[in-house]
Structure 1
Amino acid sequence: MAWRELLVALLAGIVQGVFEWLPISSQGNLSMLFTALGESGETALALSLFLHLGTTIAATVYYREDIRAASEGISAWRPRAAFAAGNAEPSFVLIASVTTGLVGVPLYLLAVDLASAVSGGVFVAGVGVLLILTGVVQRTSDAVGLGERELPTFADAVFVGAAQAFAILPGVSRSGMTTSVLLFEGYDGPAAFRLSFLLSIPAGLGATALVVLDAGGLPEIGVAAGAIALTASVLVGYLTIDLLLGVVKRVPFWAVCFGLGALALLGGGVVIVVGG
């Protein structure tokens, strides 16, 4: 393996491991990184989605006790008691994940077509626009205030699942979108983060499976490079989750989205002018 491929794989895994826990799009930042390194927009999109597998593994290990408790509820799930006390969270995860799949697959196909049709500069600028829109959503949800709801409903699951599907687009934060929608629906911060976390595992597995099936294997990378990137994302993700979740509670990340989005627009514009 060339040294450049090794360094790119390590860097990609580190970026995914750090940014996945923040309500700013890890996929958007990875897509910009891959594009800056000379990959096509289509390949950058596939690689950034594929690396969600690493942080999904890290989250599964870190929150194994929470997952065990949730899985017990899922195993005892009954349709007639859906969204009743004791069965609400499993129902929420199930309905929201199905909705994400129904909305997300067409969005993924659209994103792939657009990424393959546009130049690198336009792709990066598009990521910047989506980062800024994510920041707008988060800023608006901050202004709504905290609610007191506890049990999710069928409508909550459908709305959150649809919102999560848009995270298939580079620049749209999965955690930012789902948490913001839950805040809009009246949940307080801890409840919103918990429900968003529960959704992250099936979403991460689904995104990885979609990319692998679409590409017929690893997306434009060798097995060794993929293993290095995944290992880095697992280790960095696990080691940084405590620190970064604490930062999320104190820093207005809508402002970070605005800043990164503005830089992406500027960088994409420069590439377009230069001829990229």
Structure 2
Amino acid sequence: MDFALIFQSIVLGVLQGLTEFLPISSSAHLIIVPWLFGWDNAVLTSLPFDVALHLGTLVSVLAYFWQDWGRLLRAGVGVVAERKIGDDPDRRLAWLILIGCIPGAVIGALAESKVEEIFHAPNAPLALQAVIVMALIFAALGLFLFLAERLAKHLRGMTQMKFWDAILIGAAQALAIFPGVSRSGATITAGLFLGLKRDDAARFSFLLGAPIIAGAGLKSMYDLYQDAQRGAFGTGDLFLYLIGFASAAITGFLTIRFLLKYLQRNSTDIFVYYRWVMAAAIIALALLRG
């Protein structure tokens, strides 16, 4: 096994764990970093590897919120058994997460393949136009996050969320099919616009994202199983997937813990400025490379 590939898979896993939960777009970083350093290995630039990284962050969000998931599971069973939601906060939250997943699932099913053709073509050079568009999207989400911090009062908690809050945040999550948007960035921004407290906006964002990541991961695992049956990849490929998966899971867990504590006392402005600086740097590099 090439140690350079092992190093690259670790770096990409750590990058995924950081950027999946920070509102700075994991997909954009996973496209830009290999492009910047010339990491063109077919495995590390493939969609299956990208999904392995997302599955790692799924494990981290399941592990960090394991108590929440236990309560939500019991609440869901209670809703099915009694056929009512009532005033129980866990039942309401489970219902809000369920309906919030609908927009992302529908839009993702309809449009994700087209977006992948543009930004995720395996073994193909990333087009200059795609890089610039990604950078502009990166900056635009930063602008919306900047406005959300200043135009809304962040006073509501998750227990005060309504039906349309979940729908609107779920619709924002659907925009994450575009690299540069960021699933957590879009949903946290929407939550802030709707008046949620910063840490509650982040917490709901992470809980809402888990079913979407799980669904995409299950589909990809089925595709990988079919590839394995045809001998489309070997154990060396699987080893790189596992390294990336583990790196993303560990880093993601630590990132969730950091961000929730950070947002209790701080705004999201640091991520806004990071987005703007990175967007400018990406455009400059793209133009220099031609």
When normalised by structure 1's length, the TM-score is 0.85
Change (3 A) 1:6 1:190: closer
SS at match of 1:24: coil
Of the three residues 147, 155, 165, the one matched with 2:155 is 147
The aligned amino acid for 1:53 is L
The 1-side partners of 2:85 and 2:169 are apart by 17
Question: What do you get for the CA RMSD once the two structures are aligned?
Answer: 2.8
* Residue number in structure 1 paired with 2:142: 135
Q: Report percent identity of matched pairs.
A: 25
Match of 1:93 in 2: 97
1:257 aligns with 2:275: yes
Distance 1:217 1:66, change over 3 A: farther
Shift, 1:213, TM fit: 5.1
Which consecutive unaligned segments of at least 5 residues does structure 1 have? none
| Structure 1 Cα separation of the partners of residues 249 and 105 of structure 2 | 24
| Correspondence list, 1:72-221, <5 A | 72-78=74-80, 81-82=84-85, 84-86=87-89, 87-115=91-119, 116=121, 119-144=126-151, 145-148=153-156, 150-212=159-221, 217=227
Give 1:256 shift. 1.1
> In structure 2, do the counterparts of structure 1 residues 28 and 120 end up closer, same or farther at CA, with 3 Å as the change threshold?
same
Aligned position for 2:288: 270
Match of 1:30 in 2: 30
CA distance in 2, matches of 1:30, 1:179: 21
2:53 paired residue number: 51
What is the deviation of 1:35?
2.7
Q: Residues 245 and 19 from structure 1, CA distance in 2 versus in 1: closer, same or farther, beyond 3 angstroms? A: farther
Does the 8 Å CA contact 2:115/2:178 hold for their aligned counterparts?
Answer: yes
Q: 1:268, CA displacement in angstroms?
A: 2.1
| TM-fit CA distance, 1:39 | 5.9
**How much has 1:85 moved relative to structure 2?**
4.5
Deviation (angstroms), 1:244: 4.1
- Report how many aligned residue pairs link the two structures: 271
Structure 2 residue aligned with 1:70: 72
Task: Kindly provide the CA deviation profile for residues 153-183 of structure 1, in whole angstroms up to 9, marking residues without a partner as x.
Answer: 3222222112101112211111111111122
CA distance in 2, matches of 1:82, 1:7: 49
Q: CA deviation at 1:26?
A: 1.6
Q: Secondary structure at 2:160's aligned position in 1? A: coil
User: Residue 133 and residue 50 in structure 1: after superposition, are their counterparts in 2 closer, same or farther (change >3 A)?
Assistant: farther
- The separation in 2 between residues aligned to 1:57 and 1:111, in whole angstroms, is 26
Does structure 2 retain, via aligned residues, the 8 Å contact 1:107–1:166? Answer: no
Distance 1:238 1:182, change over 3 A: closer
Contact preservation (8 Å) 1:123, 1:268: no
Tell me the amino acid that sits aligned with residue 136 of structure 1.
L
Q: How far, CA to CA, are the matches of 2:86 and 2:19 in structure 1?
A: 32
Q: TM-score, normalised by structure 2?
A: 0.82
Contact 2:49–2:241 (Cα < 8 Å) also in 1? no
Q: Deviations over 1:51-92 (max 9, x none)?
A: 111011012112211221122212222596458543221111
User: How far, CA to CA, are the matches of 2:155 and 2:262 in structure 1?
Assistant: 22
1:135 Cα offset (Å): 0.4
**Bigger CA drift: 239-248 or 257-266?**
239-248
What stretches of structure 2 of length at least 5 have no aligned partner? none
